[in-house]
Structures are given as C-alpha cells and as structure tokens.
Amino acid sequence: MAEQNTFIITSVAVQKNNPARCSVFLNGVFAFGCSMDLVLQYNLHKGKVVSPALRQELLEREEMMKLKRRALDYATYKPRTAEQVRRKMIEKGYAPEEAAFAVAFLEEFGYVDDRQYARMFVRDLLARKAVGRRKLAEELAKRGVQKFDVEDVLTEVFPHDEIAELALRAAEKKMRSLESKPVEKRKPTLVQYLQRQGFAWDVIDALMRRLEEEGKF
C-alpha cells in the first residue's frame, strides 16, 4: 500500500498537439504536463508511486526545462547577448538566479557568445551605416556586452585604417540634408552630427579641414 500523502500514477498520456510532451494523471486527476525526457528519466508509468517530494522534484525539473526552452527560443530567433537573455527571462517572471541558469546553459552549448555577437554587430552596422568606434562601443554596451569584450572586439575588427573614409561617408550623407540650411549653420551642425556618430575629435577636425580645402564649406 502506498504511504500516506503519496500519489499513484493512473495515466501517462502523450499530448496530441505535442508528441514530445506527456500529461501525467495522479489518483485519476490531471497533475501536470512534462517532457518525454522526464518521463523516461524518472520511469513514469501507470501504477508508479509518487511521493510528495518526487512530485515537487518533477515540477521543479519541468520548470527548469521550460526555462531552457524559452531561453533557447529567444536566443535562436536572432543573435542575443547574455545580458539580453538575462533581461528577457526576468521580464518573463523568472528570478535572477533562474535567469543566470538559463544564460549559463546557453553559453555552455554555444547559443550565446558575446564576443561573436559583438563581431557580427560591428560588421553589420558598419555595412549599413558609417559610425565611429565610440558609437559602436555605446551600442554594444547597451546590449550588455562587457567592456573588456567590447575593447578586444573593436581592436580586432574595427577598420582603423579606414576611419577617415568612414567619417567622410557619414559627412557626405548628412551634408545632403543640410543643403536647405544657412551656410553658416552647416559646419557646426555637421560637427555635432559626427560627434553623435562616435567619431573622435581629431578625425572630425581633419575631415573639416579637408572639406574646407575642397570648397565644401
């Protein structure tokens, strides 16, 4: 006879809409859904006695697996940083330690890699828009990439030898929108724009002198 307060599995049924999950019935009543992995791991079958402690363990394991699935879905929909995953899991209602667990799981299996994310981000943004190193660093920091990773990646992939041309590209695009402004306002407006785009002052200063020599101002 089963111990007091224990449960008897009366049915383990594969769910119609998701064959990878099962519905577990205890004492004739639906108790919880869980993955097929847990069914096999714990040898859940009709007639098995389930103690309150085992029932709680199964529920906790299922919650952890659900957390992993949510984190995995989020991280594989498009590239994410560890911090983005952490924030999203907390937003979903998970505790900080559970969010950290999800991040560790994704990092262990290579689904989250902040350095690789940073490399892809820098290359993609520069292909679409001319910006300076500082702007890239700011954008990566917003996404939670650690400062030492940002510095290493920018040293590795930022086209330092093309910085003057990047600044020129940004300036030429902006100058087209300044044609309606009074001449005396064009230069300060352009300088401010280039600063916001993350270009260093020495790069901006050299570019302004170049544009003046070419009669652009």
Taking only the tens place, the pLDDT of each residue in 80-137 is: 999 999 999 999 999 999 999 999 999 999 999 999 999 999 999 999 999 999 999 9
Which architecture characterizes domain 114-158 according to CATH?
Orthogonal Bundle (1.10)
pLDDT digits (tens, 9 = 90+) for 11-27: 999 999 999 999 999 99
pLDDT at 215 over 90: no
pLDDT in tens, 157-207: 999 999 999 999 999 999 988 888 887 888 999 999 999 999 999 999 999
Domain boundaries, the chain: 1-50, 55-112, 114-158, 167-213
Class of domain 167-213: mainly alpha
Burial label, 50 (beta-carbon count in 10 A; 0-12, 13-18, 19+): buried
Q: Which CATH architecture has domain 55-112?
A: Orthogonal Bundle (1.10)
List of long-range contacts for 153-158, beta carbons under 8 Å, 24+ apart: 153/115, 153/118, 153/119, 153/122, 154/122, 156/119, 157/119, 157/122, 157/123, 158/122, 158/133
Please give the model's pTM, rounded to 2 decimal places. 0.80
Per-residue pLDDT tens digits for 135-161: 999 999 999 999 999 999 999 999 999
